[in-house]
Amino acid sequence: MATLDDDLAKAVSEGFRQAQIDIVNQDLILSGTGDVTVTLADGSKKTGPSWTKLIAAATAAGTSATAAKTSETNAANSASAANTSKSAAAGSASAAKTSETNAKTSETNAKTSETNAKTSETNSKTSETNAAASLAAAQLLTSVPYEDAPYPDVWAPLSDDLRLLAGSAPYDRLTISGQVLELPTKSMTFARATTGTYIDKSGVLQTAAINEPRFEREGLLIEGQSTNYFLNTDTPTNWNSDSRVTKSSLVDGATQAATLKGVTTATATDLILIGSQAIAGASGDIFTLSARFKSDYHRVRFNFTLDGALIGHVYFDAKTGVFSAGTSGLTYTSSLGIDGYIYASVTCNSTGSGSVEGKIWINSSSGTIPVGHIIYVQTPQFEKNPVATSYIPTGAASVTRGSESLNLQASGNCGFRVTGDLFNRTVSLSLAINKIGLQSGSYHSAIATSGASNDIICRILTDGIRAYRGPGGPTLSTTYPMPQKVLTQTLDDANKMTLYLDGFSNSSTGAPVSPSGIPTNITLGANPAVVYHVRNFRIWHRLLTPNQINGLR
């Protein structure tokens, strides 16, 4: 009996599966009503009008056009009646001077009829215009709302590694026993002078080596430099805690992170779980506390002190993470995970100069905390930073995670030789801006061509995103945190730049300020006040059509 090898069997199964999908899609389009959702070959979903909806729209347009024609005919009849009334008035005047008064009345009636005829004619024109608009709407419904873009000239998926599917870069190299081997792949380059932790696609806390990129569910994570001023974070038994809390260490939760299991040995209203070392701060400096925790009841308190005096605190329900009370002016976030752990962060501005400390407590929601109460805490972090960043494990001293950057050579990729060149280009990427702590008037040029003044592809503002080459530039508003969205920028050979985001667009025209600038790298850079993810970075050395831009994912 003949057998199929695995690859052929898989191909046959895939063919049957796709055929079944095509049959279902055809039934939806031909037999469905209203908008229908079909499944594409890659498994994604697309929504558009069914054939029934399109026919109904076209029928409505035809009905409107018929009404317009009828109205036009009525207008012509009214005009004819007006001319007849005029003739009758003139005849009455000639036949009998004594009937002059009646003739005048008849003439007035004729004028009124003529006015009505004009009004009817105007209405006819309006109806004709409405019919044309209805027809245009019907034609729009039957047009393709989006289409696939051509294969990019530069393409880095950035979902699992830095490899390019298209674009210019040196071939990757691998050194084995001192021998350098050239690989058939090309990649972008990534830099971070330290290790860094991240949450992998299974939700587990992982550590990336020096210069190793960190890929999370939303793509490549990019963060600025920050320092954790809590000590011994991976050794909870060494935490600076209240003596009335018995400490033990375990690996727990979806993150599988080092975790404090604290058990109270005396009743109290407040018991400190971990306190930071003191940090020198000036008025206006921004500090952030963050951690994961869980407990059956009571509250967890995050607080900040300046020279020992309280300057701000926030209380979270220890089981749900819901905010319960706090100092005004502080910003905070909390989210409950499927493993029962709550991730919370609180940001506070120093009210003066001195020594600033951050602490995490277990706090009674009413009465006192009983003996034997259990609280779990993991990944505690105290940063002199406007946003909470990824966890930085520490030992006996504070630890700093370095800033990150992603680079691709400009030659062959950015689309121009010098900044003043006129050219056509489309750049698109999936962007998620997870945390932002930019102060009013500040910004972060997240994606730009280094060496060129200017080629700013994505500048993150406090209230939106901007792109520009010369003075001005298109800007689109957004709110933060911004979930993953497709950001697209086009530039034509008349220096017109258009920015597309979330169904909106904005354009601006302007030449670069330094046309002789020579590009060196396309850089995706970091800022301490911004945490973002990027994936599916693509460049076309041409202008995509609006329908192609609508189809980008």
Identify which of 52-56, 79-83, 124-128, 325-329 has the greatest average pLDDT.
325-329
pLDDT confidence bin for 139, thresholds 50/70/90: very low
Q: Is the pLDDT of residue 1 over 50?
A: no
Residue linked to tokens 């990649």: 187
Measured distance CA(381)–CA(391) in Å, rounded = 7
Per-residue confidence (pLDDT) for residue 495, from 0 to 100: 94
Residues 6+ positions from 227 with CB-CB distance below 8 Å: 383, 384, 392, 398, 399, 400, 401
Residue-wise pLDDT for 341-396, tens only, equals 999 999 999 999 999 999 999 999 889 999 999 999 999 999 999 999 999 999 99
pLDDT confidence bin for 34, thresholds 50/70/90: confident
Q: What is the DSSP string of 16-74?
A: HHHHHHHHHHHHHHHH--SEEEEE-TTS-EEEEE-HHHHHHHHHHHHHHHHHHHHHHHH
Measured distance CA(350)–CA(160) in Å, rounded = 40
Q: Which of 257, 251, 255 is nearest to 204 (CA)?
A: 255
Measured distance CA(350)–CA(37) in Å, rounded = 52
Measured distance CA(458)–CA(12) in Å, rounded = 44
Residue-wise pLDDT for 492-545, tens only, equals 999 999 999 999 999 999 999 999 999 999 999 999 999 999 999 999 999 999
Measured distance CA(263)–CA(199) in Å, rounded = 28
Residue-wise pLDDT for 460-478, tens only, equals 999 999 999 988 899 999 9
3 state DSSP class of 233: coil
Residues 254, 337: contact at Cβ < 8 Å? yes
Dig out the tokens for 486 from the structure: 């497709």
Dig out the tokens for 10 from the structure: 């898989």
Residue-wise pLDDT for 477-501, tens only, equals 999 999 999 999 999 999 999 999 9
199-203-206 Cα angle (round to 5): 40
Measured distance CA(456)–CA(466) in Å, rounded = 8
Distance of CA 211 to CAs 35, 82, 93, 163, 548, Å?
A: 48, 88, 104, 15, 36
Q: Which of 149, 154, 46, 140 is nearest to 545 (CA)?
A: 149
pTM of the predicted structure, to 2 decimals? 0.74
Measured distance CA(453)–CA(469) in Å, rounded = 7
Per-residue confidence (pLDDT) for residue 38, from 0 to 100: 67
Q: Is the pLDDT of residue 411 over 80?
A: yes
3 state DSSP class of 107: helix
Q: Which of 386, 380, 413 is nearest to 399 (CA)?
A: 380
Q: What is the DSSP string of 275-344?
A: EPPPEEE-TT-EEEEEEEEEESSSEEEEEEEETTEEEEEEEEETTT--EEEE-TT-EEEEEE-TTS-EEE
Residues 50, 33: contact at Cβ < 8 Å? yes
Residues 6+ positions from 51 with CB-CB distance below 8 Å: 29, 30, 32
Dig out the tokens for 508 from the structure: 């601006």
Dig out the tokens for 433 from the structure: 């801006």
Q: Which of 403, 431, 436, 401 is nearest to 197 (CA)?
A: 401
Burial class of residue 121 (count of CB atoms within 10 Å of its CB; 0-12, 13-18, 19+): middle
